[in-house]
């Protein structure tokens, strides 16, 4: 009898997990230049969603490169693989029922289209954090633009490597002249709506 119950638990459809969490999963893919505010927005949305009782996870370049992608460098091929692995991890977490906020520059449209394909039938929200290059450079929290302008960082997106803005993002967020809380609110609203069970 015990093994029969175990078999039933293993065979439960993913929707049963979502019902237990009282939410539908969503992948929110935040793309934009370095310094645009992607991670700040993701973390602010994460805190607000948690306060609303939602179950979330933030994936960004920092926490991915510490473990899952620690073997990758910054070549074009490695950067593509970084995005692909992030998409696969996000899809697995969403299958389990989480709202996953992915914060990656992911500069190429093809990379982001592939991330959406990897998500299959899961809700996928492409979020363009539309912050002008000069504003990102003025912020430059890690001094990366300054180093890139000196030639110390080759192939730096926005300086010596291109960024392809989304043609038709699901959501565009402007951070210039706005607080992080205000900027994050449209994202929070969209995720609360998309994650609501029928």
Annotated domain spans of the chain? 28-135+163-193
Instruction: Pick 60 or 155 by higher pLDDT.
Output: 60
Which pLDDT does position 162 carry in this prediction?
93
State yes or no: pLDDT of 7 exceeds 80: no
- 106 an active-site residue? yes
Q: Is 90 exceeded by the pLDDT of residue 29?
A: yes
The per-residue pLDDT for 96 is: 95
- CATH code of the domain occupying 28-135+163-193: 3.40.50.300
pLDDT of 12: 62
**Beta sheet of 26-31, edge-to-edge order:** 56-60, 99-103, 26-31, 123-129, 171-173
Cα torsion through 10, 13, 14, 17, rounded to 10: -70
Mean pLDDT of 132-148: 90
Mean pLDDT of the 156-176 span:
94
According to DSSP, the residues that pair with 99 across neighbouring strands are 26, 56
- What is the average pLDDT across 35-39? 95
What pTM, to 2 d.p., does this model score? 0.89
Task: Quick: pLDDT tens for 63-87.
Answer: 887 778 777 777 778 888 989 999 9
Burial of 82 (0-12, 13-18, 19+ CB in 10 A): buried
For residue 27, the 8-state DSSP code is E
Active-site pick, 34, 36, 39, 106: 106
């Amino acid at each position: 009898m015990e093994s029969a119950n175990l078999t039933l638990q293993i065979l439960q459809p993913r929707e049963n997990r979502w019902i237990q969490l009282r939410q539908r999963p969503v992948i929110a893919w935040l793309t934009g230049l370095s310094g645009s505010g992607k991670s700040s927005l993701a973390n602010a949305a994460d805190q607000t969603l948690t306060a609303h009782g939602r179950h979330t996870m933030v994936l960004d370049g920092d926490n991915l490169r510490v473990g899952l992608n620690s073997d990758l460098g910054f070549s074009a091929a490695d950067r593509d693989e970084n995005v692909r692995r992030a998409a696969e991890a996000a899809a697995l977490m969403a299958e389990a029922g989480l709202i996953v906020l992915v914060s990656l520059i992911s500069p190429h449209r093809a990379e982001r289209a592939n991330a959406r394909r990897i998500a299959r039938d899961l809700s996928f929200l492409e979020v363009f954090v539309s912050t002008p290059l000069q504003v990102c450079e003025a912020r430059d929290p890690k001094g990366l633009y300054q180093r890139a302008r000196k030639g110390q960082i080759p192939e730096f997106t926005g300086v010596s490597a291109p960024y392809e803005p989304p043609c038709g993002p699901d959501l565009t967020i402007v951070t210039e002249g706005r607080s992080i809380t205000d900027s994050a609110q449209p994202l929070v609203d969209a995720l609360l709506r998309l994650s609501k069970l029928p």
